[in-house]
Amino acid sequence: MKKSVPIGFEDFKRIIDGNMYYVDKSFMIKNLIDNMGSVNLFTRPRRFGKTLNLSMIRRFFEEELNENGEKIENAYLFDGLDIAACGGEYMDQQGRYPVINLSLKAAKQPTFEMAVASLVDEIAKEYKRHAYILSWEGISENDKKRFRAVMNQKAQDVEYAKALDFLSSCLAKYHGKRTIILLDEYDVPLENAYFEGFYEEMTGFIRSLFESALKTNPDLEFSVITGCLRISRESIFTGLNNLEIYSILNPWYADSFGFTEKEVMEVLSFYGLKDKFAEVKNWYDGYRFGEIDIYNPWSILNYVKVSLANQDAFPRPYWSNTSSNSIVKELVENADSEVRQEIEKLIAGGTIKKPVYEDITYDSIYDSQDNLWNFLYFTGYLKAGGGSLEDDTNYMKLMIPNTEIRTIYKRTILTWFDKRVKNLERSELIFALEKGDCEKIETFISKQLLDTISFYDYAENYYHGFLAGILKGAGKYLVVSNRESGTGRPDILLKTPSVRGAAVILELKVSDSFQGMEQECNKALKQVEEMDYEAELRAEGYDNIKKYGVSFYRKECMVRK
């Protein structure tokens, strides 16, 4: 029986025990042992396997005990994996250390008090996981009292701020080994706090939590921290000189997160979907970590699962459904004319050149447009396609990674356009259409083209949707949009509910040059006459009918009647 596809499973042990398909990332453990960094920060976009890797690391190193203090054997989980083939000097490290494993992703709450309460709850759960030490006589009564207070969420604020430091000390005494500390999604509380308005308070709490555990902790063996964004040392890592940072620019551990092309081929072959590779590459490839091309693992696994049920299923933007994509929304809604042109260029498959700064803070994202581009790059909405060093600044050519991410930009733009049109005052356009004022019509439409973001292909269907979108909801007129070709009907038709009112016929053409726009207008008008588009309107009873030929060239519009 084929292995199931582990969608949403982030527990390494559950995946192995459940005989689910697992893409082997255990070689990362060898690198951790060889490099022996004290505090290791890994930044990658969301849904690229950060939580699963931390779960794997925990199961490898931890001397895991149950509530009675009896050892839980986890060595079998690594049978047949890459780390098992690295030799005894590495496998001897398996199951030797106490481990603190804390996720900070639960702190996405609307207030500082709720966010801290969520973190305190996660800390308490980790204390309960190690409650076996309370039955040990080697822990003093005062320490047991403090331990219980944190575990039962009845401790003082300062005790929560030092909770990781204290727990690592207790575990080191009990196990006789220094403690490994694993912190997942460390920047989620900071991102949430920024958007909810309590960034400074949350930064202070996280700084206190980290400093005591990571900066001067004699009971720390090493730490692994994951997140989407590298936060500046001055923000929460003040004075932490032992911090090793592995961002998407760093060649180390480049293949430890996400799927390599070889791994994608293996997944597809395993499930009999090898012929889908070209489609998968177009939709989900395009990321580059270090010097290695990487695929989005979340989207690959979802694609595989859907394709197993329906081989003819179309690819979908699975990754976009895991987040609000608020940062792209912010970019689109606040774009000036220069940024709008850059977005259009990106969607068309082009590149933009921007300075890249690795360490920024959430409260500085909107300080400059460059910071916003950096945020989009490090969180997976853009990728780098080569760089250069200019005036001591690292510049990168940024582009959209793949079709999946391009659909996020397009959807965001369409949503923004719809919202913008709802607030658009269109009476001037309607009045001009009624009076036959071609100059005012084309001036109004051209201005809207300049102020919007196109998909840059400038095909007729783009202009069709653009103009229909502007005209819909235009007061007293019903708008009929004929997007299908060959039906013998006009492109866009406006008519009043009563035949005593008026009707407007708009036939659209696209010119391949500015000079050819008038000729296209005349072609459109000729088509209206030859196809007798007004016949149906007259049959309905309309007598007041205006007919327009409208031509477009990029962001220019010409109208003739």
Provide the edge-to-edge strand list for the sheet that holds 545-553. Answer: 478-481, 492-495, 503-510, 545-553, 556-560
Amino acid in position 100: I
- Tell me which H or E stretch contains 505: strand 503-510
- Overall average pLDDT of the 189-208 stretch: 90
211-220, 510-519, 543-552: least confident range:
211-220
Encoded tokens for 54? 């931390």
Q: pLDDT above 90 covers what percent of the chain?
A: 65
pLDDT at 537 over 70: yes
Amino acid in position 188: V
Using the Cα atoms of residue 112, residue 209, residue 102 and residue 243 in order, give the sign of their dihedral. positive
How do strand 492-495 and strand 478-481 relate by DSSP bridges? antiparallel
Task: Give residue 233's pLDDT.
Answer: 61
How far apart are the C-alpha atoms of 19 and 22, rounded to whole Å? 8
Is pLDDT larger for residue 344 or for residue 93? 93
Contact 54, 39 (CB under 8 A): no
**Would you give the distance in Å from CA 229 to the centre of its chain?**
12
Task: Give residue 232's pLDDT.
Answer: 66
Contact 534, 511 (CB under 8 A): no
Q: How far is CA 258 from CA 50, 249, 296, 540, in A?
A: 9, 14, 6, 61
Length of the chain counted residue by residue: 561
**What pLDDT digit, counting tens, does each position of 317-345 carry?**
998 765 567 778 777 887 888 888 888 89
Task: Give residue 487's pLDDT.
Answer: 52
3-state secondary structure of 548: strand
How far apart are the C-alpha atoms of 177 and 558, rounded to whole Å? 78
Contact 224, 50 (CB under 8 A): no
- Overall average pLDDT of the 31-57 stretch: 94
> For the whole model, what pTM was predicted?
0.86
Nearest Cα to Cα of residue 349 among 270, 456, 263, 245: 456
Encoded tokens for 230? 């590298």
12-21, 237-246, 514-523: least confident range:
237-246
**What pLDDT digit, counting tens, does each position of 274-290 carry?**
999 999 999 999 899 98
- Overall average pLDDT of the 543-561 stretch: 95
pLDDT at 402 over 50: yes
How do strand 220-227 and strand 179-184 relate by DSSP bridges? parallel
DSSP per-residue letters across 407-469: HHHHHHHHHHHHHHHHT---HHHHHHHHHT-HHHHHHHHHHHHHHS---S---HHHHHHHHHH
How far apart are the C-alpha atoms of 416 and 404, rounded to whole Å? 19
Reading phi first (left if > 0) and then psi (alpha if -120 to 50, else beta), residue 401 is in alpha
Provide the edge-to-edge strand list for the sheet that holds 383-390. Answer: 352-355, 393-399, 383-390
51-60, 402-411, 504-513: least confident range:
402-411
Task: Give residue 424's pLDDT.
Answer: 84
120-129, 330-339, 427-436: least confident range:
330-339
Cβ-Cβ contacts under 8 Å for 368 (sequence gap 6 or more): none
Nearest Cα to Cα of residue 119 among 155, 84, 88, 69: 155
Using the Cα atoms of residue 137, residue 140, residue 144 and residue 147 in order, give the sign of their dihedral. negative
Is pLDDT larger for residue 341 or for residue 486? 341
Task: Give residue 481's pLDDT.
Answer: 83
- Tell me which H or E stretch contains 55: helix 50-61
DSSP for residue 190: H
Encoded tokens for 444? 């109004």
Torsion angle of the four alpha carbons 350, 379, 287, 8, in this order, in degrees rounded to the nearest 10 = -140
φ and ψ at 366, to 5 degrees?
Answer: -100, 10
- Tell me which H or E stretch contains 226: strand 220-227
Task: Give residue 393's pLDDT.
Answer: 79
The CA angle 494-495-501, to the nearest 5 degrees, is 140
Is pLDDT larger for residue 112 or for residue 230? 112
Is pLDDT larger for residue 534 or for residue 99? 99
Encoded tokens for 286? 């395009």
> Helices 403-422 and 460-471 meet at what angle, rounded to 10?
30
DSSP for residue 5: P
How far apart are the C-alpha atoms of 37 and 248, rounded to whole Å? 18
Contact 237, 210 (CB under 8 A): yes
Q: For residue 227, list its beta bridge partners.
A: 43
Reading phi first (left if > 0) and then psi (alpha if -120 to 50, else beta), residue 135 is in alpha
Average pLDDT value for the chain: 90
3-state secondary structure of 398: strand
Amino acid in position 79: D
- Overall average pLDDT of the 255-279 stretch: 96
Task: Give residue 486's pLDDT.
Answer: 38
User: How many other CB atoms sit within 10 Å of the CB of residue 510?
Assistant: 19
- Tell me which H or E stretch contains 146: helix 141-151
